[in-house]
Structure 1
Amino acid sequence: MTEFFKSFASAITTFWRAPRPAQVGMGLFFAASVADGILMPFFALWAHNVAGIPIEFIGLLLGCYAGGELVATPFVGGIADRLGRRPVLLISTIGVGSGFVLLYVVHGAFAAAVALIIIGVFESVLHPTASTVIADVVPAEARRRHFAARRVMSNAGSMAGPALGALLALHSLGLVFLGAGITLLLAALVIAVCLTETRPPGAAPGEDDDDDSLLVLTAAFRDRRLAALMVPVALIELAASWIGAIVPLYAETGGTLTASGIGLLFAYAGAIGVVLQMPITHATERMRGSRIVLWAGVVQAAAFACLFLSPALPSLVAAVTLLALAGMLTGPLVQSIVTELAPRTAQATYQAAFGVVGDIRDAAGPAIGTWLFAFAAVLPWGAGAVLSIAASLGLVSVMRRHEQPEGVSDSPPSDRYDEMQRPQ
């Protein structure tokens, strides 16, 4: 028990001992999670009750948000490698915050869709650049621990956001947009005051480097190591998104939970992440990455199995608990591997490329999951269990190749990246 509390306290210690830019990066993840938590649990209610949007089109409207990210990423995804981290974070947080404020003042489905696309465009570089700031200033051997602390901050935001959103929604559903916008505008102020530029001096592109953003990001995708990592992670994330998207419908049709009860269920999942992330990271520090991801796949499949058996409350609690544990196992590990794969001159580009995994999850996951649910209530859970196991086995293969001794390639990552960018 003493070791557990030491591990839990290490999240706070890691944050306070981290370099100032890394603290700002972690704080930005907290602010972004608070904003999402303020808004997302109440978006469907606002769209249906205030904006008058039919229920069947609400998911499509949310897809505009992820769609904006997907469209923008090829063009601006790696822009922080050229302009610098600080200006990109300033512009993106101001853009996302202003977009949420815009949602507060506009009316109608079309205007809301345009605002969500704009938010997605600015959002496309926010999380990757914040992760890059952490990677810039934290030594390689400490990155996994710092990315774990970053997840703790995100989970803390996921707890605080819905509570703040509930208070705002008591007065007006539209106020949740204003609350989310103000949160990110305050984060922009913190960036302006506290963040110094972290891009390594040698990472600035030369005068003859006139490749556009699309080609530079394509070079990252052409890195077979990154592509091999992204495919199984995308499948795992896609399956995991079904639980968040379908459990509210599953619980409602089963008569298990009310809307407020569902909110508490997911707040509980965020609390698990705050309490257990650092102890789990410490407990698995000496384990091989391939073993960690295999266990994570089994745990995530078990979450789906619980839902397959019953929509009763114990099954719902067990499912969100197991899903949270699976994310805690793989999240910091995969993020640290992405930073290892990235050349020194392309950290932001690789983070943006890997961020496409989240964009695909948000754009396609809920739609696929609800489509399966429409056929049969248990179909997403059976399919999710199978997909989780299959994808984790694929990720195990990737991890084993990554764990092989270096020296297989004739050139370092930075050289291979440069070669991929040269015109043929």
Structure 2
Amino acid sequence: MTTFSSSWRGLPRPALLGLLLFFCAGFADGALMPFFPLWASSEADIPVGAIGLLFGCYAGGELVAAPLVGGIADRIGRRPVLIVSSIGVGCGFIALFFVHGVAATAIVLVLTGMCESVLHPTILTAIADVTEPSAHPHWFSMARVSSGAGQILGPACGALLALISVDAVFLAAGGMLILGGIVMLAALDETIGSGRATANDHGEREEEEALSALLPAFRDGRLARLLLWVVLFEISGNWIEAVIPLYAQDAGTLSPSGIGTLFAYAAALTVGLQMLVSRFAETRSALWLTAGAGLSTIAAFALLAASPAMLSLIAAVSLCSVAQMLVGPLVPTAVNALAPAARRASYMAASSVATDLKDSLGPSVGTALYALAPRLPWIAGIPLVAIASLGLGVAIGRARPSAATSEASLDAEVARPEKTPIWSSRPAMEEQS
């Protein structure tokens, strides 16, 4: 706790505000997502097999918007993007309280997803702007802790509101994000010119600003391969959040309030252990960490396939939380390492496309499999996780060494601009000797 407190105090102000916005977003997601399947099936009269399609509308809005506005924070700044996107998502969640029917809900979710497409990647970009590259894994872990803290209060608040009306959770979720947007408006300074985004990046800013410039995944093969494995790994992991509410309710194991409490517990586990796991992970290879995450997720699926009992549910969400603690900070760190400083937001936005695909395909596939057989998502997820975790470890491992090399070269050029370049220092030393 002492280390955590000192690290918190040492953060630059924009990064602190970024963590606060992560908390608000985590609260909104925690309050809304566990109860959305219950609301859809009980109050909106939507068939179980079609619930995933509504999740897909939300992610679909993100997918539509990401290529068009994903890199806009590199052009107009982080501050206006964070203000507009957080308030826009908050208004979208509140609108769900007033709409009914599949068509109206789908339209609201698409528009909300379009606003959300730039929220999380821009927060990460702002944090990366004002922190050292070598410390990014630590700060991205802090972001997960902040989001997890919100996801503790979100489901807990949602569980209380669900006793009154499941619709009421939309008001709480939206109100928290609007509050976050107001705080950004009042207190956030622009970070686009901070840190490594110096004069050397000016030429890159003047490059082509066409659509292809906002889609680095199509130009950077390393990023595309990395994100492919991220999508495969996260699709099955998303089934925990999308399928467990239906699985537990149909089995008579948990009530809606109990489901909210279960996900609040999972978030509390992340808050309590994330920094400890991150410290442990500093000395481990990417492949080791992703393999450990894969084994944890496979064990969770095996427990769920065996039984929907309370102990199985608690153990499963615990194991999946540990898996996300291992992998979560690795992905944005690897993406940021591959990104030129003037294209950070674009690269982070491209990585958010992977998350959007996960949020779209994960619930759709998971609930469709569940409609066929309650245990089918867990059985089908085991081989998918095994393959994806190994591929993800290899892809992250290839990104991290190249980042370290690039960073060392940049440091040497900044410190000794008129001396021998670092890549020729060894021959020079040999010549002197």
TM-score (norm 1): 0.88
Paired with 1:208 and 1:273, the residues of 2 have a C-alpha distance of: 41
Paired with 2:41 and 2:372, the residues of 1 have a C-alpha distance of: 24
Report the secondary structure of 2:328's partner residue: helix
2:176 partner letter: T
Paired with 1:107 and 1:377, the residues of 2 have a C-alpha distance of: 28
Percent identical: 49
Cross-structure match for 1:418: none
Paired with 1:362 and 1:249, the residues of 2 have a C-alpha distance of: 17
Cross-structure match for 1:237: 234
Cross-structure match for 1:4: none
Q: 11, 17, 23: which is aligned to 2:4?
A: 11
CA shift, 1:107, in A, is: 4.0
Is the contact made by 1:237 and 1:361 (CA closer than 8 Å) also made in structure 2? Answer: yes
Describe the shift of the 1:9–1:238 C-alpha distance in structure 2 as closer, same or farther (beyond 3 A): farther
How big is each residue's C-alpha offset from its partner over 1:374-410, in whole Å with a ceiling of 9 and x where there is no partner?
Answer: 333332222211111111111232234335567999x
Describe the shift of the 1:174–1:309 C-alpha distance in structure 2 as closer, same or farther (beyond 3 A): closer
Is the contact made by 2:50 and 2:368 (CA closer than 8 Å) also made in structure 1? Answer: no
Paired with 1:399 and 1:241, the residues of 2 have a C-alpha distance of: 20
Paired with 1:103 and 1:257, the residues of 2 have a C-alpha distance of: 25
Describe the shift of the 1:11–1:406 C-alpha distance in structure 2 as closer, same or farther (beyond 3 A): closer
Describe the shift of the 1:315–1:169 C-alpha distance in structure 2 as closer, same or farther (beyond 3 A): closer
How big is each residue's C-alpha offset from its partner over 1:99-128, in whole Å with a ceiling of 9 and x where there is no partner?
Answer: 223333344432222221111111000001
When structure 1 is superposed on structure 2, of 38-47 and 290-299 the one drifting more is 38-47
Q: 28, 32, 35: which is aligned to 1:35?
A: 28
Paired with 1:318 and 1:386, the residues of 2 have a C-alpha distance of: 20
* Matching of residue 126 in structure 1 with residue 119 in structure 2: yes
Describe the shift of the 1:297–1:97 C-alpha distance in structure 2 as closer, same or farther (beyond 3 A): same
Paired with 1:231 and 1:140, the residues of 2 have a C-alpha distance of: 24
User: Could you list the runs of 5+ residues in structure 2 that have no partner in the other structure?
Assistant: 411-433
Paired with 1:151 and 1:352, the residues of 2 have a C-alpha distance of: 18
Paired with 1:102 and 1:252, the residues of 2 have a C-alpha distance of: 26
Cross-structure match for 1:211: 209
CA shift, 1:173, in A, is: 3.5
* Matching of residue 369 in structure 1 with residue 362 in structure 2: no
* Matching of residue 152 in structure 1 with residue 150 in structure 2: no
2:158 partner letter: G
CA shift, 1:57, in A, is: 3.8
Is the contact made by 1:101 and 1:178 (CA closer than 8 Å) also made in structure 2? Answer: yes
How big is each residue's C-alpha offset from its partner over 1:90-149, in whole Å with a ceiling of 9 and x where there is no partner?
Answer: 111121122223333344432222221111111000001001001111101111111111
Cross-structure match for 1:276: 273
Q: 248, 251, 258: which is aligned to 1:251?
A: 248
Cross-structure match for 2:350: 353
Report the secondary structure of 1:287's partner residue: coil
Paired with 1:207 and 1:157, the residues of 2 have a C-alpha distance of: 35
Is the contact made by 1:82 and 1:205 (CA closer than 8 Å) also made in structure 2? Answer: no
**Equivalent residues in 2 for 1:288-367, closer than 5 Å:** 288-367=285-364
CA shift, 1:233, in A, is: 1.4
Is the contact made by 2:231 and 2:354 (CA closer than 8 Å) also made in structure 1? Answer: yes
How big is each residue's C-alpha offset from its partner over 1:27-77, in whole Å with a ceiling of 9 and x where there is no partner?
Answer: 111101111222223334444555554555433223211110011111011
Paired with 1:73 and 1:304, the residues of 2 have a C-alpha distance of: 32
Report the secondary structure of 1:41's partner residue: coil
- Aligned residue pair count: 403
* Matching of residue 221 in structure 1 with residue 214 in structure 2: no
Q: 88, 101, 116: which is aligned to 2:94?
A: 101
Paired with 2:405 and 2:32, the residues of 1 have a C-alpha distance of: 48
When structure 1 is superposed on structure 2, of 141-150 and 306-315 the one drifting more is 306-315
* Matching of residue 75 in structure 1 with residue 68 in structure 2: yes
Paired with 1:84 and 1:77, the residues of 2 have a C-alpha distance of: 12
Q: 373, 386, 403: which is aligned to 1:389?
A: 386
How big is each residue's C-alpha offset from its partner over 1:76-98, in whole Å with a ceiling of 9 and x where there is no partner?
Answer: 11110011100111111121122
Cross-structure match for 2:427: none
Paired with 1:373 and 1:72, the residues of 2 have a C-alpha distance of: 30
Paired with 2:159 and 2:369, the residues of 1 have a C-alpha distance of: 30
Is the contact made by 1:221 and 1:353 (CA closer than 8 Å) also made in structure 2? Answer: no
1:396 partner letter: G
Describe the shift of the 1:16–1:253 C-alpha distance in structure 2 as closer, same or farther (beyond 3 A): same
User: Could you list the runs of 5+ residues in structure 1 that have no partner in the other structure?
Assistant: 1-7, 414-424
Cross-structure match for 1:24: 17
Is the contact made by 1:165 and 1:176 (CA closer than 8 Å) also made in structure 2? Answer: yes
Paired with 2:165 and 2:202, the residues of 1 have a C-alpha distance of: 47
Is the contact made by 1:97 and 1:184 (CA closer than 8 Å) also made in structure 2? Answer: yes
Paired with 1:48 and 1:400, the residues of 2 have a C-alpha distance of: 42
Describe the shift of the 1:377–1:19 C-alpha distance in structure 2 as closer, same or farther (beyond 3 A): same
How big is each residue's C-alpha offset from its partner over 1:164-213, in whole Å with a ceiling of 9 and x where there is no partner?
Answer: 2233344444332222222111111111122111012545677864532x
Paired with 2:170 and 2:141, the residues of 1 have a C-alpha distance of: 29
Q: 145, 158, 165: which is aligned to 2:158?
A: 165
Paired with 2:404 and 2:170, the residues of 1 have a C-alpha distance of: 51
When structure 1 is superposed on structure 2, of 327-336 and 100-109 the one drifting more is 100-109
